[in-house]
């Protein structure tokens, strides 16, 4: 079996959405331990108040302005609904879809040109 190339994270730059806790938070800590520079975002205002106020395009520009590159994008932000499907309102489903689908699309579109410049 061919070996996969080793990708060093020392001095790499990673964007992690959903970094205010859970898997996203744990991943951010792991990346930091590997020597990665981090740009974090989360819908929760308290853990990441500055990022909550930024638009995605402005966030991408800020990452490039700060670090000059991006090595890793982790689209980890996500929410869920509890209960039976018939109990969920259209507004709740739209909210879920906005975060779980469109935020991933928007983040990827904003950061893809930056990522394509990296090896």
The tens-digit pLDDT sequence of the chain (119 residues) is 777 667 788 888 889 888 888 888 888 888 888 888 888 888 764 544 444 436 677 888 889 999 999 999 988 878 899 999 999 999 999 888 888 888 888 889 999 999 999 87
Contact assessment for residue 20 and residue 44, using Cβ atoms and an 8 Å cutoff? yes
**Dihedral sign computed on CA atoms, order 55, 26, 82, 86:** positive
Q: Alpha carbon of 17 to those of 1, 61, 82, 119: distances in Å?
A: 33, 16, 22, 22
The correct CATH number of 13-115 out of 1.20.1630.10, 3.20.20.70, 3.40.50.720, 3.40.1160.10 is 3.40.50.720
- The domain limits of the chain are 13-115
Distance CA 64, CA 60 (A): 6
Alpha helices, DSSP H only, in 5-118?
A: 22-33, 49-52, 56-67, 90-97, 103-115
Please give the structure tokens belonging to residue 8.
């060093």
């Amino acid at each position: 079996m061919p070996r996969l190339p080793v990708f060093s994270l020392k001095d790499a730059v990673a964007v992690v959405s959903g970094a205010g806790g859970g898997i996203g938070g744990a991943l951010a800590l792991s990346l930091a331990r590997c020597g990665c520079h981090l740009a974090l975002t989360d819908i929760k205002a308290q853990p990441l108040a500055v990022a909550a106020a930024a638009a995605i395009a402005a966030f991408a520009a800020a990452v490039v302005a700060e670090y000059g590159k991006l090595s890793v994008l982790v689209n980890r932000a996500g929410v869920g609904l509890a209960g039976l499907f018939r109990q969920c309102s259209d507004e709740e489903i739209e909210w879920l879809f906005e975060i779980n689908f469109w935020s991933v699309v928007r983040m990827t579109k904003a950061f893809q040109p930056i990522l394509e410049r990296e090896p």
